[in-house]
Amino acid sequence: MYFVNGWLKAALLGLAAISLLGCDISDDLIASDEDKRPAVTAGSSGYLPGQRAADFSVVDSLGDEFVLSDHLAAGRAPADVVVLYFTMWCPICLAHSDHIYSQVMPRFQGRGTVVYALVDYVSGSVSASRASEVANGYAGSDFVTLVDARLALLDQFNGAMGTVVVIDSDGTILLNEDYRTGAALMQTLEQQLP
């Protein structure tokens, strides 16, 4: 029996290797800092830096409505920038959001108005999102937690776990990328805030 199982595993592994021979996966295996996203047409709407963010409305973890245009230049509560961080409440996401909270927020405090939002796209409801916010220590913090129960923001910004998006007061996307070390976020805020 052991011989048959070993033979079957080897045959399946061989078939998998043969099927990969026809795939061009070289681009996925070579790391690069080159930005391979398509060029942006000025004034277009989308998710790429340089494009305008479409307005959106979601609820926050307290059940209050959060509308992007309220935080743009002509809105009810204008901000210089809106920062969205997409979280799953996993250890990596929490390390990033903790870094934003402890390193980024203090560095830019008093330098304009910034809305920092955690976009919770996994909890699925206001109550579950609030429970995650409380359990992870962000209740009452300077973050607003947005409940993306229908994944509308995730889709709109082509987001994923750890994506950070920065939108200026005119609605232009300045940054949309993986958080990594937070250096790109800090550089973007340095350029935007007085």
Q: What is the mean pLDDT of residues 87-112?
A: 96
Among 40-44, 101-105, 137-141, where is mean pLDDT lowest?
A: 40-44
Q: Identify whether the C-beta of residue 133 lies closer than 8 Å to the C-beta of residue 61.
A: yes
Q: In what order do the strands lie in the sheet with 173-178?
A: 65-67, 57-60, 143-147, 114-120, 81-87, 163-168, 173-178
**Average pLDDT over the chain, rounded to an integer:** 89
CA distance 32 to 91: 26
pLDDT value at 21 more than 80: no
pLDDT of residue 4: 52
CA distance 68 to 2: 62
pLDDT value at 44 more than 70: yes
pLDDT band at 53 (very low <50, low <70, confident <90, very high): very high
pLDDT of residue 39: 81
pLDDT of residue 41: 83
pLDDT digits (tens, 9 = 90+) for 109-146: 999 999 999 999 999 999 999 999 999 999 999 999 99
pLDDT of residue 38: 74
Kindly give, in sequence order, each residue whose CB lies less than 8 Å from that of residue 103, ignoring residues fewer than 6 positions away.
182
Higher-confidence residue of 167 and 16: namely 167
Residue keyed to tokens 């996401």: 93
Q: What is the mean pLDDT of residues 80-98?
A: 97
Structure tokens at 100: 């934003």
Domains of the chain: 57-192 (3.40.30.10)
